[in-house]
Structure 1
Amino acid sequence: MNYVRTGMLLAAMTALFMGLGYMLGGTGGMMIAFAVAAAMNVFSYWNSDKMVLRMHHAQEVDERTAPDLHRMVRQLAHNADLPMPKVYIINNPQPNAFATGRNPQNAAVAATTGLLDMLSPEEVAGVMAHELAHIKNHDTLIMTITATIAGAISMLANFALFFGNNRNNPLGIVGVILMMIVAPLAASIVQMAISRTREYAADRMGAQICGEPMWLASALSKIAGGVKRVHNQDAENNPATAHMFIINPLSGERMDNLFSTHPNTENRIAELKKLTSGSNGGFGMAQPERNAGYQDPAAGGPWGGVSGNSVREPRGRGPSVPPAGSSRPKGPWG
């Protein structure tokens, strides 16, 4: 149903684009605007991962510098039948995470030090599974297509003042003003609706990948609280990247309103709780332990981490990550 809804929203955005082109009264300007928007988004599609990771000062880690986190992601990627993505840690006290990359073969997942310090290993596993679900669902491609169409609509709306007064626009100057204001607003609303739909889909698949819906539900609750308390200056400087994070890093949303890039956290947790029932997916149920394997943040936590330009040594080892559908964990990190 999430894919059906996404398809319907994309169709609505395409119809809005074509209708706006018709109102402008010619295919020439419409095709130029679409070509320019497509070129911009193709560039973003091929380079967005590097750009976003650089914006947030992410540092790549490996089995030597963050062995537990790296092994966790490897096991979860195996559960999801995905290639091993690159793993990054962001030296930022706000708990958050995101995935990027143009396809599963060129993907990366990133977690902040705030997330690794605040969450238990089980909850981190739920978050990483959610990000891998975005990769598996090709959400980067979906959002790139959405951004292309939304960008084309905005360009056409900007052209409306110069080319909108023609026989295809029966409303005259009123129609021009409506095109300039309403069309980009409608495109933004649809774009954000698609983003919220993909978050719900990633939550469900993430629960399947890690095998325990409540790991992710518990993580979402903690992250939402942390985001409200901790300011993320890099996110504030680059608000266009906010939709990539598991929780909006700019502000805590109170409801699923039209202008929210993320669903309400309580609604997401409620949907995950439904998955713990045998009639809603057959997941095993295990409440995550509170801060299992937790170490003092100054010591680097159980994952290894970053502090300035150095990589902290890992301390300790967290609990296991079960393959999706299994009833019991299968040893440390699978």
Structure 2
Amino acid sequence: MFNLLKTAVLMAAITALFMTIGRLIGGHQGMVFALVLALGMNFFSYWFSDKLVLRMYNAQEVDAQSAPQFYRMIQELAQRAELPMPRVYLIEENAPNAFATGRNPAHAAVAATTGILRVLSERELRGVMAHELAHVKHRDILISTISATMAGAISMLANFAMIFGGRDDEGRPVNPIVSILVMILAPLAASLIQMAISRAREFEADRGGAEISGDPQALASALQKIHRVAQGVPLETTERHPETAQMMIMNPLSGRGIAGLFSTHPSTEERVERLLDMARAGAARA
């Protein structure tokens, strides 16, 4: 319940930011227009964002005939998690990564790059896909796709304000310095909100994935391997659409230093340490 309340507050913050930019662009009318647009985008995201993201990554649906080993793995993990069988997709990309999307467990999809299938052992891949199914079980996937859509729209509106300038309620032009600040700060604020939504959910999905697979060490090993390999293999689609980075099991963007402070994912080291603590606790109980 607390997570739902926290998510609702954070999504309200994104909508408020959307309205603030709308007010800058067109005064009161701009704010109303931005609110209507935000509601429309939330409606669109609820019904269609999964299809949009999958198309964006050129994901191809597979089944028991076209990818038997991978499909059966998802099938077995979904049964262990007591979830309906999700749609299964592969993305032709060398970068190792995976994500889940959809509006609820009954309409969910999981996707993995061909790179992750080549890099990980079967045991490690089970841990990764169990992590994605944990997102489905925790109903994180709708919030992730909606916040990604809204963050992208905020960046677009901020650029619009910079190009065309803003107006106050009387129709007078806003100071251009204000427009520049909005262009810089609005996407940053949207990223901070996304970060707040995503980081805690990644820890929970790691824990849930370890429970579904029954193998926290495998997921820890997978995260270490993905982190190491992904350093030199960019995921081009995410570079073009950075708002989707939060959906991945590992942030594929190459930001370091200060940029790393605004990552939507916790550090790999902390995630691995928590998973190894789970493994040690399980061994102690046994």
Fold match, TM over 0.5?
yes
TM range (shorter): 0.7 to 0.9
Question: Hey, what's the Cα distance between the residues in 1 that align with 2:262 and 2:51?
Answer: 27
Question: Hey, what's the Cα distance between the residues in 2 that align with 1:28 and 1:71?
Answer: 53
SS in 1 for 2:61: strand
Question: Hey, what's the Cα distance between the residues in 1 that align with 2:215 and 2:201?
Answer: 20
Q: Is the 8 A contact 1:99 1:244 kept in 2?
A: yes
Equivalent residues in 2 for 1:252-291, closer than 5 Å: 257-278=260-281, 284-285=282-283
Q: Which amino acid aligns with 1:223?
A: I
Name the structure where helix makes up a greater proportion of residues.
2
**RMSD over aligned Cα atoms:** 3.6
Cα deviations by residue, 1:235-262 (Å, 9 ceiling, x for unpaired): 3344343222111223275689442122
Question: Hey, what's the Cα distance between the residues in 2 that align with 1:192 and 1:239?
Answer: 13
The 3 A distance-change label for structure 1 pair 110 and 148 is closer
Q: Is the 8 A contact 1:256 1:264 kept in 2?
A: no
Question: Hey, what's the Cα distance between the residues in 2 that align with 1:266 and 1:235?
Answer: 22
Are residues 1:98 and 2:87 paired?
Answer: no
Unaligned runs of 5+ in 1: 279-283, 287-324, 328-334
Q: Is the 8 A contact 2:26 2:166 kept in 1?
A: no
Are residues 1:241 and 2:244 paired?
Answer: yes
Question: Hey, what's the Cα distance between the residues in 2 that align with 1:11 and 1:238?
Answer: 23
Q: Which amino acid aligns with 1:267?
A: E
Question: Hey, what's the Cα distance between the residues in 1 that align with 2:133 and 2:72?
Answer: 14
Q: Is the 8 A contact 2:19 2:32 kept in 1?
A: no
2:130 aligned residue: 129
Question: Hey, what's the Cα distance between the residues in 2 that align with 1:25 and 1:232?
Answer: 37
Comparing 185-194 and 140-149, the one that deviates more: 140-149
Comparing 149-158 and 51-60, the one that deviates more: 149-158
1:82 aligned residue: 83
Q: Is the 8 A contact 1:33 1:155 kept in 2?
A: no
The 3 A distance-change label for structure 1 pair 149 and 229 is closer
1:216 aligned residue: 219
Note the C-alpha offset of 1:222: 0.4
Note the C-alpha offset of 1:132: 0.8
Are residues 1:34 and 2:38 paired?
Answer: no
The 3 A distance-change label for structure 1 pair 94 and 18 is closer
Please identify the structure whose Cα radius of gyration is greater. Answer: 1
Cα deviations by residue, 1:184-229 (Å, 9 ceiling, x for unpaired): 4323321233122322221121112112211111100001111112
Are residues 1:232 and 2:238 paired?
Answer: no
The 3 A distance-change label for structure 1 pair 5 and 49 is closer
The 3 A distance-change label for structure 1 pair 226 and 3 is farther
SS in 1 for 2:231: helix
Question: Hey, what's the Cα distance between the residues in 2 that align with 1:47 and 1:18?
Answer: 23
The 3 A distance-change label for structure 1 pair 138 and 247 is same
SS in 1 for 2:49: helix
Question: Hey, what's the Cα distance between the residues in 2 that align with 1:91 and 1:59?
Answer: 8
2:143 aligned residue: 142
Question: Hey, what's the Cα distance between the residues in 2 that align with 1:172 and 1:52?
Answer: 37
The 3 A distance-change label for structure 1 pair 133 and 27 is farther
Q: Is the 8 A contact 2:101 2:145 kept in 1?
A: no
Are residues 1:47 and 2:48 paired?
Answer: yes
1:62 aligned residue: 63
Q: Which amino acid aligns with 1:91?
A: E
1:107 aligned residue: 108
Unaligned runs of 5+ in 2: none
Note the C-alpha offset of 1:7: 4.9
The correspondence for 2:168, drawn from 164, 170, 174, is 164
Q: Is the 8 A contact 2:22 2:33 kept in 1?
A: no
Question: Hey, what's the Cα distance between the residues in 1 that align with 2:183 and 2:249?
Answer: 32
Note the C-alpha offset of 1:16: 5.2
SS in 2 for 1:263: coil
Note the C-alpha offset of 1:41: 4.2
Q: TM-score, normalised by structure 1?
A: 0.69
Note the C-alpha offset of 1:273: 2.1
SS in 1 for 2:166: helix
Q: TM-score, normalised by structure 2?
A: 0.79
SS in 2 for 1:276: helix
Q: Percent identity?
A: 52
